Amino acid sequence: MKIKSVIISIMITSAMAAALGGCQQTQTDNPLLQESKLPFGAPDFSKIKNEDYMPAFKTAIQATRDSIDKIVANQDSATFENTILAYEESDRMLDRVVRVFFALTEADKTPELSEIEKKVQPMLTELENEISFNKPLFERIKQVYDKQYETLTGEDKKLLEETYKEFVRKGALLSDEKMERMKAINLRISELQQQWGDLLQEATNNAVVWVDKKEDLAGLTDADIEQCKKDAESRGGKSPYAIVIVNTTQQPLLTNLDNRELRRKVYEASIRRSDGTGEYNTYSIVSEMAKLRAEKGELMGYPNYAAYSLENTMAKTPEKVYDFLKSLIAQYKPKADAETQAIEEFARQSEGADFKLEPYDRFYYSAKMKKQELDVSDEEVKPYFNIDSVLINGVFYAANRVYGLTFKERTDIPLYHPDMKAFEVFDKDGKSKALFCCDYFRRPTKRGGAWMDGFAKQSRQYNQLPIIFNVCNCAKAPEGKPSLLTWDEVTTMFHEFGHALHGMLSDCQYSRLSGTSVARDFVEMPSQFNESFASIPEIFDHYARHYETGAPMPDDLKERMLKSITFQPAYALGENLAATCLDMAWHMLSSKDVPSAEEAAKFEEDALKQVGLLDPQIPPRYRTSYFNHVWGGGYAAGYYSYLWTEVLAVNIADIFKQRGALDPATGSDFCEKVLSRGYTGDLMQMFSDFTGMNEPDASGLIKARGL
């Protein structure tokens, strides 16, 4: 899961006024600029039109500028109220516009929205630059920090601390010359990320593998074949069937596809989608962005971008991240080699003694091996994983048992797509707590992957309840048929809902500190922990029911299926480790050492070889050329956080097991000490307050992974 933060600390100078010129809609004309009359203040998508966005951005930016100008012009001594709180409130209108717009560019990006985004991103980057380097504004913030930090308490003190630190980390203490360079770097990175997002989506959409004959799809289920037909139709019908490429390196359909040559084509389409061998080449963007990030770190006084980026996380330093990764690699490598050998030997039983296992064969023969040893397959269990049952009887049921939450569907709130649903969330006392929306089905206008975000963050200051949404990329069954999930998709729904809980159960004064506003290597913990509920017997039995009969999954099938979760687990860990090490390798470079676009593929190979992870059988989950978390999202030098937070999640799950996995008192304790707190305190202290541990214990991760 990647969470995309679209809230930008913003400001604008008078120099932007000309760029923002032209006729502006009035606030009463534009639905994006009005306080919504809908429940929760939800955006009214029945009224919002594409032509509303640009005027809304211009007006909201101007409103932010006016607010900032007022802070700077204040002749009174700087105080928490007239400076820090005023700054906190300065972008409220723009925040509303940004959240709506970027929710759509992620989940339903039309060509029209893409064109608007190209114009909006530079405006917001200029705005962020101007806020970051506004000396009079920072001087007032610093005055408050110097005079009031020791006397303030609670969330007021934390808000002051984070506001001051944000300005310092963005370069407020730099010389004028370095400030100007930092502004240029920020603007160029913004442009490159825009280019990356457009190019990668286009590359992935065009990496589709066309199939002329149904018999070439032998091994796939009828539902999968029907989906291939539907995907072909939605992409112009060049052939009767199409296999679309998902965001990861490996492709789920390779598990069952009998046609080896077609498996090869699908795998090659995945890994070559944007590596320079075809029309779409992202390496030039990668190289330039890596160089700019390295220079950014150097401007701030660090040897590289990783050192700069990690300072504000739980890990703190690249050295600590590498120590963590090396300990996992040492334990993982022998298991991975043995796993590969076992799969190849199994394949040779049917394919001959000279058969050489290729990466596009691995899922296929591993599934057959699992079928032989455990007698279980995706096709056998998918009828028990109806998406509606997984959501209502699984995801929601677990939240009810542990946190006392109940959910009521709301059909009176317009949403941005017909596939989307909305649910009002109530706490154990029946009090309205949040609005939860979900958008689970894939479409060509949606980027790959799964994520959580919100149309509004919780804030006592604004009396705002959270409006949170989850987005996934599950295949939607044809009309009248159930949409059935794989186990991976089931756990993805639980994962993203863990993020949603972090947002919905927030109880903070300030939106800046609420919900998921935490360090990267903490934010994935609630989501990874929430995955553990998917396999708890009471929860599993409640949702894993046959879509036709409603019968629970038979005990013997359930036992085999749950055993299969940790069947040959080295691949999943290895692909994550490899991607993590690629991310770190790129961001440990000095600006002068960043390879050119032509050298990027070789750099990737060398980086993996150096850490012992250059394994054609277990490639990175994302290769450099389509690593969206790193080049298009907020996980630069931060992808390690998925493994780091998995350790935290395992430790927390152990506490739940000790006290009772579904014990409401434990859920209440976890909510009070962690989920409700946002970033109002020290993250390690929150972890310790709940677990009683001074430090996370990584020893449980290998065991939990089945290794």
Statement to judge: residues 267 and 313 lie in one domain: no
Percent of the chain at pLDDT > 70 equals 96
Q: Is residue 694 part of a domain?
A: no
Average pLDDT over residues 356-370: 95
State mean pLDDT over 168-176. 93
Q: Which residues lie below 8 Å from residue 273, measured CB to CB, with a gap of 6+?
A: 203, 204, 206, 207, 245, 280, 625, 626
Tell whether 96 and 46 lie within a shared domain: yes
Model confidence pLDDT, tens digit, residues 187-227: 899 999 989 999 999 999 999 999 999 999 999 988 899 99
Spatial contact of 25 and 59, defined as CB atoms under 8 Å apart: yes
Is residue 516 one of the residues assigned to a domain?
A: yes
Whole-Å CA distances, 65 to 89, 104, 139: 12, 25, 17
Mean pLDDT of the 121-129 span: 91
Please give the structure tokens belonging to residue 542.
């409640």
Is residue 374 over pLDDT 50?
yes
Q: Are residues 368 and 483 in the same domain?
A: no
- pLDDT higher than 80, residue 419: yes
Same domain, 338 and 406: no
Place of tokens 């976890």: 670
Residues 119 and 251 placed together within one structural domain of the fold: no
Q: Identify any residues that bridge with 468 across adjacent strands, giving them in sequence order.
A: 436, 454
> Is 645 inside a domain boundary?
no
Residues 57-86: b if buried by 16+ CB within 10 A, e if exposed: bbbbbbbbbebbbebbeeeeebbbebbbbb
Mean pLDDT of 525-537: 96
**pLDDT band at residue 707, thresholds of 50, 70 and 90?**
confident
E strand or H helix that includes residue 191: helix 176-206
Q: How far is CA 35 from CA 78, 98, 444, 533, in A?
A: 30, 14, 32, 38
Helix extents (H) in 37-110 = 50-73, 86-89, 92-107
pLDDT of residue 301: 96
Kind of pairing, strands 421-426 and 432-441?
antiparallel
Q: How far is CA 145 from CA 79, 150, 161, 607, 678, in A?
A: 9, 8, 7, 43, 22
Residue 674 belongs to some domain of the structure: no
Overall average pLDDT of the 576-599 stretch: 97
Q: CA nearest 627: which of 604, 610, 611?
A: 604
CA–CA distances in Å: residue 330 to residues 322, 325, 467, 706: 12, 9, 43, 16
Q: Is the pLDDT of residue 120 over 70?
A: yes
Task: State mean pLDDT over 637-641.
Answer: 95
- Residue 255 pLDDT greater than 90, yes or no: yes
Domain boundary residue, one of 116, 148, 173: 173
Please check whether residues 560 and 586 belong to one and the same domain: no
Nearest Cα to Cα of residue 340 among 564, 570, 575: 570
Angle between helices 359-374 and 260-271 (to 10 degrees): 120
What's this model's pTM, rounded to 2 decimal places?
A: 0.84
What pLDDT score does 10 carry?
31
Question: How sure is the predictor about 5, in pLDDT bands with cuts at 50, 70 and 90?
Answer: very low
30 with 98, same domain: the answer is yes
So what's the pLDDT on residue 15?
A: 29
Mean pLDDT over residues 611-633, rounded? 95
Looking at residue 308, its amino acid is: Y
Average pLDDT over residues 672-677: 98
Task: Please give the structure tokens belonging to residue 625.
Answer: 């050329």
Cα(196)–Cα(136) distance, rounded to whole angstroms? 35
499 confidence band (pLDDT: 50, 70, 90): very high
Domain presence at residue 705:
no
What is the model's pLDDT at position 347? 97
The torsion region of residue 4 among left (phi > 0), alpha (psi -120 to 50) and beta comes to beta
| Structural domain boundaries enclosing 559 | 382-564
| pLDDT score recorded for residue 22 | 38
Residues annotated as catalytic are: 496
Instruction: Identify residue 196 by its one-letter amino acid code.
Output: W
What are 178-197's pLDDT values in tens digits? 999 999 999 899 999 989 99
Mean predicted confidence (pLDDT) in 149-165: 97
Considering the domain architecture, whether residues 26 and 80 belong to the same structural domain is answered as yes
- Say how far apart CA 612 and CA 326 lie, in whole Å: 10
Is 233 a domain residue? yes
Domain boundary among 549, 564, 579: 564
User: Do residues 418 and 442 share a domain?
Assistant: yes
Owner of token pair 């001074």? 694
CA 369 to chain centre: 32
In a domain, 5, yes or no: no
Helices of type H across 537-677? 537-543, 555-564, 570-587, 600-610, 628-631, 641-659, 664-670
Cβ distance 472 to 496 under 8 Å? yes
Question: Which of the listed residues 590, 605, 639 is the one where a domain comes to its end?
Answer: 639
Question: What angle, 0 to 180 degrees and rounded to 10, lies between the N-to-C axes of helices 111-132 and 50-73?
Answer: 10
13: confidence class by pLDDT, cuts 50, 70, 90: very low
Q: Which ranges in 455-515 belong to alpha helices (H)?
A: 487-504
Task: Quickly tell me which residue has 């190849």 as its tokens.
Answer: 344
Q: Are 473 and 450 in contact (CB under 8 A)?
A: yes
The predicted pLDDT at position 376 comes to 85
What is the mean pLDDT of the segment spanning 560-574?
91
Position 697 scores a pLDDT of 87
Q: Are residues 462 and 602 in the same domain?
A: no
Which residue(s) pair with 469 in the sheet?
Answer: 437, 453
Same domain assignment for residues 79 and 212: no
Q: What is the pLDDT of residue 167?
A: 95
CATH number at residue 467: 1.10.1370.40
Q: 439-461 pLDDT, tens per residue?
A: 999 998 998 889 999 999 999 99
Tokens of 411: 């059909």
Identify whether the C-beta of residue 151 lies closer than 8 Å to the C-beta of residue 162: no
Q: What is the mean pLDDT of the chain?
A: 92
Count up the domains in the chain and report the number. 4
Q: Give dist(CA 288, CA 190) in Å, integer.
A: 12
- Establish if 528 belongs to a structural domain: yes
Does residue 2 surpass a pLDDT of 90? no
Reply yes or no on whether the pLDDT at 282 is more than 90: yes
Say whether pLDDT at 93 is over 90. Answer: yes
- 132 and 254: one domain? no
When pLDDT is averaged across residues 368-390 and rounded to a whole number, the result is 92
Question: What residues does 545 pair with on adjacent strands?
Answer: 552
- Higher per-residue pLDDT: 345 or 16: 345
| CATH number for 579 | 1.10.1370.10
pLDDT of residue 26: 55
